[in-house]
Amino acid sequence: MADHGIASVGHQPQASVATAAARLAPPGPAAFRPPWQVLAQDIAALPAWATFGQRVAPLLRNLTLATGTGQAHLWLPEPDRPAPPTAPPAPRSPLARDDPPAWPGARAMMPVHDGQREIAVLVVTDRPGAPPPAVPTSALRETADIVALLLHEVTAQETLRVRARHAEDLQVRARRIEADLGAALEAERRRLATWVLTGANRHLAEVAERRRDFAAAVHDDPSRAPAALGALRSAVDDLLDTFRAVVRGVHPSTLRARGTAAALGELAAALPRRIRCTGDLGRRVGWEIESGVYHAAAAALAALPASADDALLVHFSRTAGRLAVRVSDPAGSVPRLRIALADDARRLAALGGGLHCHPSLADMAVIDIWLPESLTGTDDPGPPPSA
């Protein structure tokens, strides 16, 4: 527990305890009052920005008045540190005068509890040169209850501040992820448009030209019509093959039927370069995960040189709750790959994964791709614990 802004902090020699003395309280009535009156009349009148030390001081001064010749203190443990041996070991009740004192000069002690947890101790000590003080058990107990209430308020305020900061951090993170997903969506739209328009426009122009040839043959030279019709049919088949290739690239049937590793193996087999696949991704996971890993790995294969003497190495693995694909190429260029795969890296990062291009110790270009097993948002650890 932190000192909560107590201005009158002292430390017992070799005891590591914080002590707020009642003599540091502002002037007030010279007669003891019930602690609840101190709360209602003195503490409630303090401004909202008053520290815990300023709030607890009237209670300690009032408790000192109840002891007559004693001195009231509040013991608070230091942050993240257990109570030292010289501190009171969770007293079960105020110490009577015939009990061995835990501190030199201690006449009475009362633990302050938050539920079952001890969070502070009220201590009444002898005043130097004064006769032994009285031990006001009821005043100790009532004061301890109000101190517990004040400490609970401090803890609640700190928890609120921590959670507010965490909520702000989550909002910033959500905006960043939204921007990343928007950018990735636009990149995918441009890529699909390029795939469709580049090949389809060329084949559509071919189909249109073959149709005109066929129409001219029918009109001018019917003997050429069968050959012109065959050319038109071949152009239409090429156009359909182009659309099928686009559909397979976007939504391969093997990916849905057998998973990411099988779909990438099928894609690798269709490429002109030798590719060796090893490893396994384990049991099937959600479509959004499998397709995310597949398309990132497919983009990585497309970004690498189509022809080279050395084979590409593709390794599948599943560790620490995430699916991973590593693509290694002796002929690859890491700087060029980082540029070519920037959109894919941003998309995977928005989904809680990543794509990292780096050189290996063997001077190979390595592309590491990974996504978590599920996109449930459980990667948020929550706010840090309050002090």
Long-range contacts, stretch 125-131, CB < 8 angstroms, 24+ apart:
125/70, 125/71, 125/73, 126/69, 126/70, 126/71, 127/69, 127/70, 127/71, 130/69, 130/70, 131/69
Contact 331, 359 (CB under 8 A): no
- pLDDT digit string, tens, across residues 321-370: 889 999 999 888 899 999 999 888 988 888 888 999 999 888 889 999 99
Mean per-residue pLDDT, 269-277: 87
Distance separating the N- and C-terminal Cα atoms of the chain: 6
Which of helix, strand or coil describes residue 228? Answer: helix
Distance CA 262, CA 282 (A): 12
Q: Identify the structural domains of the chain with CATH numbers, from first to last.
A: 10-165 (3.30.450), 258-387 (3.30.565.10)
Distance CA 387, CA 305 (A): 55
Distance CA 101, CA 84 (A): 15
Distance CA 342, CA 340 (A): 6
What pLDDT, on a 0 to 100 scale, did the predictor assign at position 244?
67
Kindly report the average pLDDT of the chain as a whole number.
77
Pairing of strands 117-126, 106-114: antiparallel
Distance CA 184, CA 309 (A): 33
- pLDDT digit string, tens, across residues 247-268: 665 667 778 888 889 888 888 8
Taking the CA atoms of the chain, what radius of gyration do you get in angstroms? 38
Indicate if the pLDDT at residue 26 is higher than 50: no
Residues paired with residue 19 on neighbouring β-strands, in sequence order: 10, 75
Here the tokens at position 276 are: 């060796």
Half-sphere exposure of 240 (CA within 13 A, CB side): 6
